[in-house]
Structure 1
């Protein structure tokens, strides 16, 4: 069973800290590779930078996964941000939700069933957090630079049902994060067994 006290103790060993650092840097570098999705508004792009954090969370525990997400976004904020930290906060909240939920459930009993359940619930959690982060952080930030109608129009181009901020979130942001959660779950399933023996 998952032991929180033991996990906290083990988190600060030199070996684990080195692994967290390496996975954080890998995650940060992957963050620069983005792919547009045909059904998503233009400001939403898919990247795989959460994968190292998910794998780290599965192998080392959910707290380690959260640290990887945090360090990744701190590095991006220091070197590359164009949102004054708003994008990094949103990325941390959204990615962190998936990592913490999925790896937390997996560590309740390390088996395929818990891994699948964790990824499914993690996807739902990420979609909810993503909707809230876009509504209260990202969209208000971009609204300071562009008319809100222009932001909504980016969604209307790919989905005629998007006519305002509310429908932009329902028909643009939420489906995107569900799709992203599914993709991350599949990629993690493919990679985890191959790399977990190195990380553990």
Structure 2
């Protein structure tokens, strides 16, 4: 294990401890169990990490540029957030990002961009659903968060990611344009043409998949997620 992996694991535990501390301070309920909360967040963080880091869970589509990979690490973050709140959701996002950093191929810029996009995607939905816990709230939460994430993804690609690949990684703009042009001939430049015809449909399709899967899974297991055995203990007494 190299030093970066050790640092990543240390940060993983620090994020867990910090989240438990903050959550406990803002939710001073007698029933709050920090160990149970930490275990729940760690489980969802591990699932998100697998979906984010392991290549077998990634795939591309032939009608989109080959470097736009689908990965569904936001699903555990959504489910954890809906069940346990925004701090838990952000902790899951932070965990999968921190563990991915030692394996970065983009000088951490790609991972930090994913961190920002996942945060703007998941947290608004969790906050809205926390206020309106019904089907209308679910639709509103997913709709607003998807819109925010789509706008942010285009802005970050135009002003952060593409300039980074050109000026820091040494890729030529013409070379990048050639790659995306193979999949989408209508793209004419690596700015807003690429953002509107490449980034937007990619993220819209990905968001739709994430929303559908999240809704189906959370609807099936949300009762179990809040079960702590207290009712059974009372019956036994």
Higher relative contact order (CA 8 A, sep 6+): 1
Write out aligned runs for 1:86-105 (5 A).
86-105=109-128
Q: How far off is 1:108 after superposition?
A: 0.9
Alignment TM-score, normalising by the size of structure 2: 0.76
Alignment TM-score, normalising by the size of structure 1: 0.90
Distance 1:40 1:181 in 2: 15
- 3-state SS of 2:131 partner: coil
- 3-state SS of 1:164 partner: coil
- In 2 relative to 1, CA 47–64 (structure 1 residues): closer, same or farther, beyond 3 Å? same
Matched, 1:193 2:214: no
- 3-state SS of 2:183 partner: coil
Task: Give the unaligned 5+ runs of structure 2.
Answer: 1-22, 227-237
Q: How far off is 1:14 after superposition?
A: 2.1
Runs of 4+ in 1 over 6 A off after TM superposition: none
Distance 1:46 1:197 in 2: 29
Q: How far off is 1:149 after superposition?
A: 1.3
Q: How far off is 1:7 after superposition?
A: 8.7
Aligned to 1:42: 66
Matched, 1:157 2:182: yes
Aligned to 1:26: 47
The structure whose Rg is larger is: 2
CA contact (8 A) 1:106 1:115 kept: yes
Aligned to 2:139: 116
Q: CA RMSD in A?
A: 2.1
Matched, 1:136 2:162: no
Task: Give the unaligned 5+ runs of structure 1.
Answer: none
Aligned to 2:149: 126
Q: For this pair of structures, how many residues does the alignment match?
A: 196
Write out aligned runs for 1:5-16 (5 A).
8-9=26-27, 13-16=34-37
